[in-house]
Amino acid sequence: MPIHDAIIIGAGHNGLACALHLASRGWRTLVLEQATTPGGAVKTAEVTVPGFRHDLYAMNLSMFAGSAFHAEHGERLARHGLAFVPAARPFASVYGDGSTWLGLEQGLAATLARIASVSPRDAEAWQALDARFEREAPHLFGLMGAPLPSWAAARLLWRMGRALGLAGMADIARLLLSSPRDWLTENFESDAVRCLLAPWGLHLDFAPDVAGGALFPYLEAMAGQRFGMALGQGGADVIIRAMVAALGEAGGELKTGVSVRRIEVSSGRAQAVETTDGQRLEARRAIIANVHPRALYGPLLGAAAPANSARAGKLRPGPATMMIHLALDALPNWRAGAELQTFAYVHLAPSLDHIAQVYNQALAGLLPAEPVLVVGQPTAFDPSRAPAGKHVLWVQARVLPATPQGDAAGQIAAAPWDEIKEIYAERVLDMLERHAPGLRQSILGRCVLSPADLERDNPNLVGGDSLSGSHHLDQFFIFRPAFGRSRWRTGIDRLFHIGASTWPGAGTGAASGYLLGHDLT
């Protein structure tokens, strides 16, 4: 059996990005994936009706399109079929009683006009925020794409201080520590603008009153206004298919349907992996685990896990998520306005108080009476995902309990997700029907993926947490997955850890895989 330079456990997009970068530098790389299909949380499949392609989990590829990995390897990936579909209207929110909405689109003038229609004062505040972003963006994105801790990050902070001054640095520090509600209330007077931005905090486990959550609505709003949203042509898995093909061209290898039982460690150094079918595969330079820390510091290392790794192994999951995929005769007939059909994402989030209530219900183990919904309309921009004139709908219910203990509405008895997922999906469809009358009559097929289904398909999504670990401040920056385990180190020589549970966290940017690959070469 040949000895590889690097063995990567897990063919999610971070694992593939790392493998491709190493292979492009001449490393002999092998990627092992326990599932039959690579991609992790980036998968596209026909799960409803033949001919309808659904992004099972991730849909938004903006982070990948704008990533350092794509900047370096984009031409190679394009040769293997990578293509994006731009969405100039990235997101909107329906708020209040469901009859009103506000959307963000590419271009400052268009977005300002929309905001001015609900609050001229908020339009002025938005313009000021846009000017602030122009000053801060190079520094913020540079920091988010740097290893932590590192001299590179230190130099970025130094340059940030020189450029922005003490007051500017204080503004950023305040932003990083603020809750979404505090930041939104300070900057905007209208519920419309607040409800437009607040749901983005929930995408990363930041309810309105959780400290540290203001950064993400800020970045999503400003980046969306400048660049729109990038979707994968034909489905999000276009990035996976391109990376797999490019990896093969570069001499790397991917094996699916292969599960790793343990990582062999000798004299403090990772030597090999043992698969469940009894193979022993040696790695000459690195073993890279693209897995949840519970798996890495649990069964994969067993007694070989360093004594100080317990905190990393206890990385706290965020609340769970349900996915509902619909094959439709037509796009939703939105009660709030037909123009909503032209946005990639539509958030159904009535108010900040409603978002906070949903979050608290989920944390208490209750099925939310009315979860926040993220409704994706990819075929509004990419008709190739469905037969002519037909559509797919991507529906994400946020946030839910991993193990239901009851129902906030008092209608569904506590039971495992496998027993109640279709019942709860009916609640979600009822919500959609109220916001888009006639939707049920348009449904040609549906697929419901509960939190339990998410974890079964991808063990990194512990408890159905699509983030592979909450992004609260005690689990972010140098604390992801734990202090002393940043820079993808594990405390074991030649063993490294990447993925959404490591810095810089969840999303489709492939940053941890690429940055480690860059570090190693």
Domain coordinates in residue numbering, the chain:
4-42+63-83+235-313+471-520, 106-227
Whole-angstrom distance, CA of residue 396 vs CA of residue 56: 10
The Cα-based distances of 220 to 42, 48, 319 in angstroms read 20, 31, 21
pLDDT at 444: 98
Radius of gyration of the chain (CA): 22
pLDDT at 1: 60
Q: What is the DSSP string of 419-477?
A: HHHHHHHHHHHHHHHHHSTTHHHHEEEEEEE-HHHHHHH-TTSGGG-TTSS--SGGGSG
10 Å Cβ neighbour count for 122?
A: 21
266-286 residue pLDDT tens: 999 999 999 999 999 999 999
Which DSSP symbol is given to 12?
B
Burial class (CB in 10 A: 0-12, 13-18, 19+), 289: buried
Whole-angstrom distance, CA of residue 56 vs CA of residue 46: 9
Residues in the chain with pLDDT values less than 70? 1
pLDDT at 74: 98
Cα 243 to chain centroid, rounded: 18
Whole-angstrom distance, CA of residue 419 vs CA of residue 408: 18
CATH architecture of 4-42+63-83+235-313+471-520: 3-Layer(bba) Sandwich (3.50)
**Do the Cβ atoms of 102 and 115 come closer than 8 Å?**
yes
pLDDT at 109: 95
Whole-angstrom distance, CA of residue 144 vs CA of residue 483: 17
Its pTM surpasses 0.85? yes
Phi then psi dihedrals of residue 328, to 5 deg = -125, 150
User: Token pair for residue 473?
Assistant: 């401040």
Among 338, 453, 440, CA closest to 393: 440
**Do the Cβ atoms of 432 and 373 come closer than 8 Å?**
yes
Cα 463 to chain centroid, rounded: 16
The most distant pair of C-alpha atoms in the chain lies apart, rounded to whole Å, by: 69
Residue 115: helix, strand or coil by DSSP? Answer: helix
Whole-angstrom distance, CA of residue 500 vs CA of residue 87: 25
pLDDT at 371: 98
